[in-house]
Amino acid sequence: MSLNLRRRDFLKISGTFLTFSSMSGLGYASDCKTSKRQISDLVSTPPMGWNSFNSYGVYLHEDAALANIEEMAKTYLPYGYEYFVIDGGWYGEYNLIPGTRYPNEKHASDVHLNEYGLVQPSKCYFPNGLKGLIDHAHNLGLKFGLHLMRGIPRKAVELNLPIKGTKYYARDIADVSSTCDWCHYNYGVDMEKPGAQEFYNSLVNQFADWGVDFIKADDLVPYPKEIIGFANAIENSKWDIVFSLSPGGDVKLSHLPYYRQANLVRVTGDIWEREKDFDKAFNGWEQFQGTGYQGFYPDLDMISFGQLMLMTPGEMYRKSDDARLAGYGFKRQCQMTPNQQYTFITVRALAASPLFIGGDLPTMDEFSKKLLLNKEMLACNQNGVMGFNVYKKENIEIWITPHKNEPGKGWLGIFNRSKNKVNVHLSSKELALAENKKYQLFDIWKNKNFELNQERKVFSIPAAGVIFLKFEQV
């Protein structure tokens, strides 16, 4: 796409940038209806927190959960990281390597259900249940979240368990032809069948009774009717619950009205430290630029800083072809270079992506911690305006995020997507700043100020690096 076409994606009036939510005619589904949940103050800025997947896969146990809760409350909550989310597997009864907590299978051979087919905390990893952890998190000022797979457990269908509060049973609502390619736990739910909505209602009401504040629903994106079923259950529950969609398949702009029944939608596959994962993030951002607004945030996945895959130590699994567990690779420290880490977190700041740390919190390295707690980065992200592309040429991309309340202020990132250091000459015009105006710029990662007038300035950007700037018209 050419620069000229991209420059039509924003308006500039006397140095004031108008966000996509105030525009029309840009080819996006701007006329989508929004539910009461999205226009509430439930998530007035992009949610921030921790998710267990990158560090523990689907094998988080209660001791590790407690340690991360306490470190999160102590170090990260004061900066706004408030949602503690346990990813998949919390109801799995795993076969373990004898004498250890390490899993001997990728997904559990059995799941723990109650008499109504609703998932319950694993006796394997959460022998004391979850209520105590949830209450402890709440007492520390945190909010608590859980991951769920789409549909109804196959075990509930095999046992034909009743749907709570109805005359229907699991086999009455299950669509046994609708399955997940990568997780065998569930069948889909046929939302046309009596009892289907009641099943999702009973599941969400159980979570509300527990005090769950955040639901990450996986494998749901390709199934619009079940998205609506889930959203209706959350809407009608007696507890405020943030609703997050995780892909399970390709995300499509044409399905945006359905995604907007949730508060977050993942617009990428799983993100780790690989070069292709940086491409995923930029591509997802580009595809969905302009679609976010207060209460609805396109999500670029977790922040894979710190120690990762702690439940997959290489010495136990590396020799086995069968032992590829959930996640990617083996136990390790994040493999990004410092410049890649700067790029990674700058993308999420400018895109107003939800900020969910993926690495282990008690062992987080100091460099990563400084990036995660940088006040300027957080201010850009919590501004809540999804940045958009204004320049793309020869591996250099410029993305800009206007301040939502203060004209002439905002943030921009100059990204070098090549493997070599680049010196690039840029003017105010190419930075999408108002011409004939003077700007005070602050380099966030180098912590220094400089001014920009109408002359071109040379920016030196390291390989795979970024210059992250805060700007203010003076």
pLDDT in tens, 133-158: 999 999 999 999 999 999 999 999 99
Between the alpha carbon of residue 373 and those of residues 46, 147, 362, the distances in Å are 15, 25, 15
Q: What's the pTM value of the predicted model, to 2 decimals?
A: 0.92
Per-residue pLDDT of the chain (474 residues; tens, 9 = 90+): 333 223 233 333 224 333 333 333 233 333 344 455 555 578 999 999 999 999 999 999 999 999 999 999 999 999 999 999 999 999 999 999 999 999 999 999 999 999 999 999 999 999 999 999 999 999 999 999 999 999 999 999 999 999 999 999 999 999 999 999 999 999 999 999 999 999 999 999 999 999 999 999 999 999 999 999 999 999 999 899 999 999 866 899 999 999 999 999 999 999 999 999 999 999 999 999 999 999 999 999 999 999 999 999 988 887 665 557 999 999 999 999 999 999 999 999 999 999 999 999 999 999 999 999 999 999 999 999 999 999 999 999 999 999 999 999 999 999 999 999 999 999 888 999 988 888 999 999 999 998 887 678 899 999 999 999 999 999
Beta bridge partners of 393: 396
Q: Judging by DSSP bridges, how do beta strands 396-402 and 388-393 pair with one another?
A: antiparallel
Q: How far apart are CA 10 and CA 238, in angstroms?
A: 40
pLDDT in tens, 176-225: 999 999 999 999 999 999 999 999 999 999 999 999 999 999 999 999 99
> Right CATH number for 27-383 from 3.40.190.290, 3.40.640.10, 3.20.20.70, 1.10.760.10?
3.20.20.70
pLDDT in tens, 61-112: 999 999 999 999 999 999 999 999 999 999 999 999 999 999 999 999 999 9
Tokens of 425: 């000459």
Per-residue confidence (pLDDT) for residue 452, from 0 to 100: 81
Other beta carbons within 10 Å of 315: 8
**Residue showing tokens 């949830």:** 134
Per-residue confidence (pLDDT) for residue 316, from 0 to 100: 84
Q: Domain ranges in the chain?
A: 27-383, 389-473
Q: How far apart are CA 103 and CA 98, in angstroms?
A: 9
Helix H, strand E, coil C: the string for the chain is CCHHHHHCCCEEECCEEECHHHCCCCCCCCCCCCCCCCCCCCCCCCCEEEECHHHHCCCCCHHHHHHHHHHHHHHHHHHCCCEEEECCCCCEECCECCCCCCECCCCCCEECECCCCCECCCCCCCCCCCHHHHHHHHHCCCEEEEEEECCEEHHHHHHCCECCCCCCEHHHHEEEEEECCCCCCEEEECCCCCCHHHHHHHHHHHHHHHCCCEEEEECCCCCHHHHHHHHHHHHCCCCCCEEEECCCCCCCHHHHHHHCCCCEEECCCCCCCCHHHHHHHHHHHHHHCCCCECCEEEECCCECCCEECCCCCHHHHCCCCCCCCCCCCCCEECCCCHHHHHHHHHHHHHCCCCEEECCCCCCCCHHHHHHHCCHHHHHHHHCCCCCEEEEEECCEEEEEEECCCCCCEEEEEEEECCCCCEEEEECCCCCCCCCCCCEEEEECCCCEEEEECCCCEEEEECCCCEEEEEEEEC
CATH class assigned to 389-473: mainly beta
Per-residue confidence (pLDDT) for residue 453, from 0 to 100: 73
